[in-house]
A and B are shown apart, each in its own frame.
Chain A
Amino acid sequence: MIQINKLSKKYKGADDFSVCDLDLAIDEGEIFGLLGPNGAGKTTLISMLSSLLKPTSGHFTIDGLNYKEHKNQLKQLIGIVPQEYALYPSLTAYENLMYFGSMYGLKGQSLKNDINAHLETMGLSKFAHKKIKSFSGGMKRRINLISSILHKPKVLFLDEPTVGVDVQSKNVIMAYLKELNTLGTTIIYTSHHLNEAEQFCTRVGIIDHGTLVCIGKPKELIAQEENAEHLEEVFLAKTGKALRDHA
């Protein structure tokens, strides 16, 4: 589904590459976890795959479509759940969803039905006509997710979708993502919650300093690492224990 070849990104004025000569292939129907410490290059990679950033070199295709030649088709094919709540606070949940759905060319009763169905699944029906600014973090995260899947994308990118949410909201979000995956959506997901990734992902890639340091199924990676019982131990073994503060 996603084929990445020698993809690199170096920001203007930066000394090092944020993503460096990265090769990666993600199959259709996978839930791929992109893990790594702060500044490892996860968000940069997702931003390039979702047409927000221009790669410095290399190329990638999604479902056979090249980002340079099929920008708009690609945008129609993918969904992006950004780290921040990308919603209008003074609009209601319903108005936000109607607007972002319309941006994918969706309209009419079918869009309204889809919105109502998603709100119902996410437990937000009774808040449909409340303004986003009155929502809790967990509620905003759920609306953020719905905004990105109304057009039924083949590939869904999620950049830390459960940051700052309570356990209940997290469970609802993760269950919903699983359901989407069973319906055929390929999911690429970044997170610092390694336990969550271990449970959720079919395959993970640990990225550090812009390069993949290991890739595989969570259980295989744990088995390969000496004395490791969880993905967290694999993660620390591969990326080290040094703090990754950067400004």
Chain B
Amino acid sequence: MHKLWASTYKEFLLVTRDIGGLAVLFLMPLLLVIVITTIQDNSFKSIKETKLPILLVDMDKGKVSEDILKSLADSKLFQVDMAATDEEAKQQVLKGDYQLAIVIPEDLSSQLDIKINENVDGILAKFSDGEESIPEVKSKMEPKEVKLYFDPATQQSFKSSVRSNIDKMISKIETETIYKAFQAQLTDDPSEAIFETEKFITFTEIVPSKYKEALIPNSTQHNIPAWTLFAIFFIILPLAINMVKEKNQGTFVRLRTNPVSYATVLGGKTIVFLGVSLVQFALMLAVGIFLFPLIGLPKLDVSGRLTLLFVVAFFAGLAAVGLGLLLGTIAKTQEQSAPFGATFVVILAAIGGVWVPVFAMPKFMQVLSNLSPMNWGLSAFYDVFLRNATFIELVPEISLLLAFFVVTTLIAIIYNERKNAV
């Protein structure tokens, strides 16, 4: 026990003497979470608050293009500029001046009217019981195409969203035109409302909650757990470097000649670096609670969850330390440990669902993500933050994190024993 205490104290001194390293360890994760949350929060707001400039080529000059223009204006998402020709719009989008151009084809309104009127006439004739004959000749019209030009740099998700909005807009116009055509056929009084054109089906967003008050997750609630976990796992870098330095300094060789077990040496490192990860976590929480509201970001709500959050952070920290111990044991140089450690953490974060939710990943990656300790940690954090989980409900995830620590540390000890067997 005395040797473990001495090892812990030595590690504490080594960590606290490296002020630069300590600053990187504590400040960089804070900077990371502030930057990411600000970007995500602002990009979410900017979609709502700032208008995206788009080009519209109106070759129709009719009711439909008028309605599209009105809908675009009503959506408050776009600032619509006009272009004269299809080619001009295409060139401007290609140059990157606009992310999107919409080209409404010639005679869209008139031909849509004709098409709908013919269809309505046909339907009504079917029900007229011989009073009206079914029109035999239908006009032959090619389907009309609304062209959308996208800047090649536009992200797929944005394209899909715009395409779906334009599609909805056009469907609404078509539906209204159909209603109007029926109205015109069925009554001579334009003020008589035969059809109710208000939406019958609407959507309400509800977040399931065990309690009366549902917590609507905001960008902070999502970002703090994800990026805190990312930061906690980055601890493998200083830890592995610390161990590689010991090998290069010769202190590791001296320790091997001392009557002290490798487990004791690793124990000291575990205690100190686990402490570091918990301080990191506390700082991240403090930033979410106190700093975020001051800089206009949503406040982190930890009410009633603090203990469980620290429980998850403790086990996530253990898992990260275990990985660091293994990497530090195997790596011979800093050139091996640093790039490998950094890349490996990014990979673990990616498959763990820090950037892209696991459900949105390909099937194979979803299976793989079950093996990422960051995924277990993230699930546990979300369980506490967003699903009001109890300790018992966290047991499966924290057990996996603990098992990961035990397995990686055991491998490190066995590897060291075999490599240095005497």
Contacts and interface: CB of A to CB of B under 8 A. Distances in A.
A75 B254 CA distance: 11
B10 A52 contact: no
What 9 pairs between A and B have smallest CB-CB spacing? A102-B6, A86-B250, A84-B250, A86-B254, A103-B258, A75-B259, A90-B17, A80-B257, A103-B260
Contacts of B3: 102-103, 105
B306 interface: no
21 contacts: A52-B253, A53-B422, A54-B421, A82-B254, A84-B253, A85-B250, A87-B251, A88-B249, A89-B249, A90-B18, A91-B10, A91-B14, A100-B254, A102-B2, A102-B5, A102-B6, A103-B6, A103-B260, A104-B258, A104-B259, A105-B259
Contacts, number: 80
A103 B3 CA distance: 6
B13 interface: yes
A51 B256 contact: yes
A95 B13 contact: yes
Nearest to B252: A86
Contact of A52 (B5, B6, B256): B256
Given A103-B3, A104-B258, A82 B250 contact: yes
Interface SS of B by simple majority: helix
Contacts of B2: 102, 105, 107
A78 B254 CA distance: 12
Contacts of B257: 50-52, 75, 78, 80
Interface of A: 50-54, 67, 71-72, 75-76, 78, 80, 82, 84-91, 95, 98-100, 102-105, 107, 131, 147-148
A84 B249 contact: yes
B216 interface: no
B254 A80 contact: yes
Interface of B: 2-3, 5-7, 9-10, 13-14, 17-18, 249-251, 253-260, 420-422
Contacts of A54: 421-422
Given A86-B251, A91-B14, A103-B258, 5 more contacts: A51-B422, A52-B420, A82-B253, A86-B253, A99-B9
For A103, A131, A148, the residue with the greatest tally of chain B CB atoms inside 10 Å of its CB is A103
A107 to B, nearest CB: 6
Nearest to A98: B6
B259 A91 contact: no
Contacts of A75: 257-259
B258 A91 contact: no
Nearest to A157: B257
A121 to B, nearest CB: 21
A51 B250 CA distance: 15
A90 B256 contact: no
Contact of B10 (A67, A99, A105): A99
A71 to B, nearest CB: 7
A87 B6 contact: no
A88 B420 CA distance: 22
A30 B7 CA distance: 34
A51 B422 CA distance: 6
B6 A86 contact: no
Contacts of A67: 422
B57 to A, nearest CB: 68
A75 B422 CA distance: 12
Contacts of A50: 257
Nearest to B18: A90
Contacts of A78: 257
Given A84-B250, A86-B249, A103 B259 contact: yes
A115 B7 CA distance: 18
